[in-house]
Structure 1
Amino acid sequence: MSKPIGLSNGVSLIDVYDLGLPKRTGSYVIHDEELTVIETSASPSVPYLLEGLKQLDLKPEDVKHIIVTHVHLDHAGGVGLFLESCPNATVHVHPRGRRHLADPSKLIQGARAVYGDKFDKLFDPIVPVPEARLQEQEDGSQLKLQDRELTFYDTPGHAKHHFSIHDSKSNSIFTGDTIGVYYPDLLEFDEELILPSTSPNQFDPESMLESLSRIERLKVNAINFGHFGQSTNPELVYKQIRNWLPQFLEVSEAALVEQKDADLEKQIAAVKSALFKLVSSHLDQLGVPREHKVYQFINMDVDVCALGIVDYIAKVKS
């Protein structure tokens, strides 16, 4: 595995090889007397997280706080398993997500319905978190560490159970999926690409833009994405989400008009094709070859985004 990446002001990024892929999902470590980990990814990622801590000369029994931005399995599916190695840690979660960590049966049921036979390889085991070790964080609440404060902001749009966490020392914010997905492999083309994450079933574009504006008002120096890495150009991040999100909706709505009499599966396929064409045309202009490794991520992401947008449009029309 790759070595942890040192960011500014005592923050490190561990690549946890979500789905077995490098630079897909990251866990952030805040080096403080009250050692803090933000995001665990799914359970198959936990060995990479533990190895990353070891490479940083840190012990899991010294971890005091584990924070999940939201309870989607690629961000929090492994928290219960990781907690077994962290006997002194408390898990901090959005109030809407707490019950799903204590009893993950609905998360498991939903994921099995989507992933079928692939579920075990991708997510198993999903271990419940004991109620006594769960701590809800309300909008605006603060977690005071030794030399910094972490402030929790309710930031829906991607999910209703999502918050973003501001770190006072680095003046950076951990945004999970609220304001998009970052593709570091495109930096070799001098491109910082950030695309919105519109996954089902709580995607809401208006809430996403409101959350973006809220984060923008904090005037942070850096944005730490769940997928994957840090951007020190926040204004570019805001600009890209404001640019791409309406385009995602526009091409999706057009595709659905053409497929209005088709079944749901064909509608989703049409939206995915439209989103892929939109993004790939942009990458073509940058000179990114279609066989570049970034397309492995693009294909996955537009697939999930299509599901969320179709679900959202159906709800709006109902």
Structure 2
Amino acid sequence: MTAGDVNEVTTGQCSDLYYVDTGMYGTAEYGAVYVLDADEVALVDTGIGTHHDRILDALDELDIAADAVEHLVVTHVHLDHAGGAGFLADTCENATVWVHEQGARHLADPSRLWEGTKAAVGDQIEWYTEPEPVPEDRIETLADGDAIDLGDRELQAAHAPGHAPHQHVFHDPANDAVFTADAAGIYVPSLDVVRETTPPPQFDLERALADVETIRSFEPSTLLYPHFGPAETDDRLTEYEARLESWVAAVAEKRDELADDEAVVEHFAETTEMAELWGERKARGETGMNVRGVLRYLDSREE
């Protein structure tokens, strides 16, 4: 896929479900937004804000009017998932914006979220655009176990705080699928592998492993990754558990060896395997952010 492409999800039992490549970070097959053409149309996640017009173009391609979208479902408020919420809410004027109860204030006033994102992503911020606020009367909050009624189906929210405390995954029983947010890692379709996503400041290994178990409990046949695309479940959850544990152990070991956190970050940024696929700059930036998240987690265990 390339930026702006729209594909139907045909994996497993999925139907009436599509995903658009938003071209996030100038990288193909990295950021996806899902369009669920239910009785009440829903978008799951809203992208980074930059190039949100690609999502609107996807609706046009699917012959779905913007005012027919009734639900904008934000899995968590990290800006690569929530950055487009304000822009899309403005155009999809009949849509309710759903978000974890801890994230609602950041959609209504994204100023602190914007500053925190700049601190977390470093020079990758140039790919972002400052988010627009979502009107408070358009926001509905979700807690663990809540469901969003789409008419002919529902999305069931399950709290998944290992990546961020404001994160939900969403079970779609009609499609026997789970929208994984960042709780099942980053799926790289061209390599058919799952990679870690462990950004600062709130990554927690034990909770992240519990989140994988939460997804597993639904026994889905399909995982719907925002990074990137649908995949049959197969052994991917087990693969991600192993990936998380080995990744955290590798960072901890290198920290013991080098005794300098910036040297640890630089080591992994220099040796990343993703430069050929994502480009050197994005691969280094992503890797460095994930290392810093693990280092912060290791510090928290000692506090």
**After TM superposition, is the score higher than 0.5?**
yes
Q: From 281, 295, 303, give the equivalent of 1:310.
A: 295
Pair 1:141–1:153, CA change in 2 (3 A): same
Counterpart AA for 1:38:
V
Give 5+ residue unaligned stretches, structure 1.
Answer: 187-191, 281-289
Question: Is residue 2:62 matched to residue 1:56?
Answer: yes
Q: From 138, 144, 158, give the equivalent of 2:143.
A: 138
Once the 2 structures are TM-superposed, how far is the Cα of residue 139 of structure 1 from its aligned partner? 0.6
Q: From 169, 178, 183, give the equivalent of 1:173.
A: 178
Do the aligned residues in 2 keep the contact of 1:255 with 1:271 (CA within 8 Å)?
Answer: no
Normalising by structure 2, we get a TM-score of: 0.92
The answer for the alignment partner of 1:244 in structure 2 is 243
Question: Is residue 2:152 matched to residue 1:147?
Answer: yes
The answer for the alignment partner of 2:262 in structure 1 is 265
Provide the C-alpha distance between the structure 2 equivalents of 1:212 and 1:219, rounded to a whole number of angstroms: 11
Report the count of equivalent residues. Answer: 296
Provide the C-alpha distance between the structure 1 equivalents of 2:127 and 2:209, rounded to a whole number of angstroms: 31
Pair 1:150–1:269, CA change in 2 (3 A): same
Q: Which runs of 4 or more aligned residues in structure 1 lie more than 6 Å from their structure 2 counterparts after TM superposition?
A: none
**What whole-Å deviation, never above 9, does each CA across 1:112-167 have from its counterpart, x for those lacking one?**
33456763x42223111111000001111111212111100001111111000111
Do the aligned residues in 1 keep the contact of 2:4 with 2:54 (CA within 8 Å)?
Answer: no
Do the aligned residues in 1 keep the contact of 2:177 with 2:221 (CA within 8 Å)?
Answer: yes
Sequence identity (%): 29
The answer for the alignment partner of 2:102 in structure 1 is 96
Counterpart AA for 1:58:
I
Counterpart AA for 2:65:
K
Once the 2 structures are TM-superposed, how far is the Cα of residue 193 of structure 1 from its aligned partner? 0.3
How is 1:213-228 mapped onto 2 (pairs within 5 angstroms)? 213-228=213-228
**What whole-Å deviation, never above 9, does each CA across 1:239-298 have from its counterpart, x for those lacking one?**
2112111111111111101122x3x42233245457x3xxx4xxxxxxxxx874256564
Q: From 119, 126, 134, give the equivalent of 1:129.
A: 134
Provide the C-alpha distance between the structure 2 equivalents of 1:295 and 1:38, rounded to a whole number of angstroms: 27
Do the aligned residues in 2 keep the contact of 1:185 with 1:294 (CA within 8 Å)?
Answer: no
The answer for the alignment partner of 1:293 in structure 2 is 277
Pair 1:174–1:54, CA change in 2 (3 A): same
Provide the C-alpha distance between the structure 2 equivalents of 1:301 and 1:34, rounded to a whole number of angstroms: 35
The answer for the alignment partner of 2:6 in structure 1 is 4
Pair 1:228–1:158, CA change in 2 (3 A): same
Normalising by structure 1, we get a TM-score of: 0.88
The answer for the alignment partner of 1:211 in structure 2 is 211
